[in-house]
Homo-oligomer: A and B are copies of this chain.
Amino acid sequence: MPPDPLTMMPGQLLARGVSRHFASLGWVTVEELVPTRGLRVDVMALGPKGEIWVVECKSSRADFMSDSKWEGYLEWCDRFFWAVDDGFPTDLLPEESGLIIADSYDAEILRMAPEDKLAPARRKVMIQKFATHAARRLHVLRDPGAGLSV
């Protein structure tokens, strides 16, 4: 079953809008991918040329302030963005990252993140992880009787 918007957390609703925006650009996204033990990204977006962008969705000041891990995401993507709603105090966010304003229906990139390109070997690993993550989650939804877990 798809997640019910009424029970989604605020950050998940932002992620939904972010994913819709990337889809409109011809990119694909997954949520909650684990690039390495102890890290889990809100949205990982894959571009048509193998670009890998990470978007962390923050629903409130407290949500942002409690995140001590975000710098760990930088080495797993070409560009890193924050996604927040239009009431978020964006002055809090580090200027050297990208900024996306989102709601649960759509999103817009307000500030492009600087590019720090993945090395080819790591890009290969990340696209493999992305493919595996997406296909496994899809399989769980397609065939609930298979007894798979994610």
Residues in chain A within 8 A of chain B (CB atoms):
1-3, 5, 16, 19-20, 23, 28-31, 46, 48, 50, 124, 127-128, 130-132, 134-139, 141-146, 148
CA A145 – CA B137 in complex, angstroms? 19
The A interface is mostly helix, strand or loop, or mixed, namely helix
Identical subunits present: 2
CA A136 – CA B139 in complex, angstroms? 13
List 4 tightest A-B contacts by C-beta distance, closest first: A28-B135, A131-B131, A134-B134, A134-B135
CB atoms of A136 and B28 under 8 A apart: yes
Q: Using A29-B135, A135-B28 as known contacts, say yes or no to A148 and B23 having CB atoms under 8 A apart.
A: yes
Partner of A130, one of B5, B31, B135, B137: B135
